Chains A and B, each alone.
Chain A
Amino acid sequence: EAGVVQSPRYKIIEKKQPVAFWCNPISGHNTLYWYLQNLGQGPELLIRYENEEAVDDSQLPKDRFSAERLKGVDSTLKIQPAELGDSAVYLCASSLGGTSGDEQFFGPGTRLTVL
């Protein structure tokens, strides 16, 4: 079974440029998460989807970040414009459903560097 797929793996851009990340979750997983992880920190949730619906986007900086999961499968996270402080690893994870004992499976992440 294929795991969570993310692309690109690495991205270097100049500040004020746009950038987009793509994620394809494990087949059959209804819940999809986008996290941001800084060095030496735990993942920080940006947005969580249950199928097509964003059920928790309270931590998403909506002035510059947007996300979509149009058909309830793959998802795109966009930053426009990027700032220096956005440099981090962006992780996508998926799970079968958003219950309390649900295991989240992570993709390899996208390492973003903003110059």
Chain B
Amino acid sequence: QKEVEQNSGPLSVPEGAIASLNCTYSDRGSQSFFWYRQYSGKSPELIMFIYSNGDKEDGRFTAQLNKASQYVSLLIRDSQPSDSATYLCAVSQGSNYQLIWGAGTKLIIKP
């Protein structure tokens, strides 16, 4: 099974700063890339997905994909304490678009 790697953190970022979360994947044939947010004790919820090289912006969130280097990142601008959560990277692979999940990066926004 192809892997998805994330730094487990915790990543501590001051309020108002930019949080940068990274994810690498091993399968060059991966099709789509997802960022999910998971609050403690809650279920994952989708933040963004991206499937083309480059940047995709949605409000304070920007997803960046570089297929040549096999990494995808999530930038959170103007970080808020409510952004404190674990961010899961998921990558769809294979003919049945199986979603392979990273272990997540715990983000802490300090007021």
A residues neighboring B (CB under 8 Å):
40-45, 48, 55-56, 91, 98-109
A103 and B101 contacting across the interface, CB-CB below 8 Å: no
Query: Given A100-B92, A101-B49, A106 and B43 touching (CB < 8 A)?
Result: yes
Give the number of residues in B that approach A within 8 Å (Cβ atoms): 23
B residues neighboring A (CB under 8 Å):
4, 8, 31-32, 34, 42-46, 49, 51, 88, 90, 92, 96-99, 101-104
- Cβ-neighbour of A55 out of B46, B49, B96 (below 8 A): B96
B32 and A42 contacting across the interface, CB-CB below 8 Å: no
B49 and A44 contacting across the interface, CB-CB below 8 Å: no
Query: In the complex, which residues of chain B have a beta carbon less than 8 angstroms from the beta carbon of A102?
Result: 97
Query: Given A42-B103, A42-B104, A43-B44, A56 and B51 touching (CB < 8 A)?
Result: no
